[in-house]
Amino acid sequence: MAHELLGDSFDIHAGGIDLQFPHHENEIAQSMCAHPEGGFAKVWLHNEMLQVEGKKMSKSLGNFFTVRDLLDQGVPGEVIRFVMLSTHYRKPMDWTASKATEARHTLKAWFRGTDGVAASDAVPSDALELLSNDLNTAGAIAEMHGLANRDDWAGLKAAMRLLGLPDAEQVEWFREEMNSAAFDNLPEQVNTLWALLDRWQSLRNARAYAEADELKRRIESCGLRLSVGAAGPEATKTDDFDPSKLEALK
């Protein structure tokens, strides 16, 4: 089958670590004997086993599920991908509800920062080098956190695309949350608010705490309550919310 579809040699052969012996060794022996002129697979990627909440996934334990099951439960595909890529493929990957929640929060923050931003022409070299070193997706994601902390949204968007993560403009659940997060029927105030929250977070990241506190005071004087959650700055509308005051802060 491999010869018919891929020829005498191809680049990557993947599979679970449980297939390394004897299945893959037998596959090499048979294929190399049948086609000695080729090299079969140049690179082998054997992924470790999947766990669920710290336990081996198995039907006997009742913790077996598929990606389709997660999608049917409402877990976005990009959240599943992010959780999977957050662990190096040669280490056991533990799927947990808390990791899925954290991944959604992280993606929401990244989508908010990259929304409407043109991706850079090239993926930042540090992230690319990590991926080039034994497909170190976990290291690349750590570097992407650094890009977000440095407000390099163009570079982050390019890196996200390389990992197969969608653009913010394409993510329905993110768009719905952006448009309904305490500001129903006030789309122009939503845009103003996120711009102010991003400025507040940038000041905090730069340790300009006096300026950050002053901006927070001004925003809250419009009838908002600010806090910092797992996905970054958040705002809650109070009964005193005055959209005209918020617009005046632009």
pLDDT (0 to 100) of residue 153: 93
pLDDT (0 to 100) of residue 198: 78
Q: How would DSSP label each residue in the chain? A: -HHHHH-SEEEEEEEEGGGIIIIIHHHHHHHHHH-TTS-EEEEEEEE--EEETTEE--GGGT----HHHHHHTT--HHHHHHHHHTS-TTS-EEE-HHHHHHHHHHHHHHHHHHTTPPPPSS--HHHHHHHHTT--HHHHHHHHHHHHHTT-HHHHHHHHHHTTPPPGGG-HHHHHHHHHSS-TT-HHHHHHHHHHHHHHHHHHHTT-HHHHHHHHHHHHTTTEEEEEETTEEEEEE-TT--HHHHHHT-
pLDDT in tens, the chain (250 residues): 899 999 999 999 999 999 999 999 999 999 999 999 999 999 999 999 999 999 989 888 899 999 999 999 999 999 999 999 999 999 999 999 989 988 998 898 899 889 999 999 999 999 999 999 999 999 999 999 999 988 899 999 999 999 999 999 999 998 887 765 545 445 456 667 877 887 888 888 788 999 999 999 999 999 988 887 655 677 888 888 888 888 888 7
pLDDT (0 to 100) of residue 59: 86
Q: For the whole model, what pTM was predicted?
A: 0.74
How many Å apart are CA 193 and CA 223, to the nearest integer?
12
pLDDT (0 to 100) of residue 185: 46
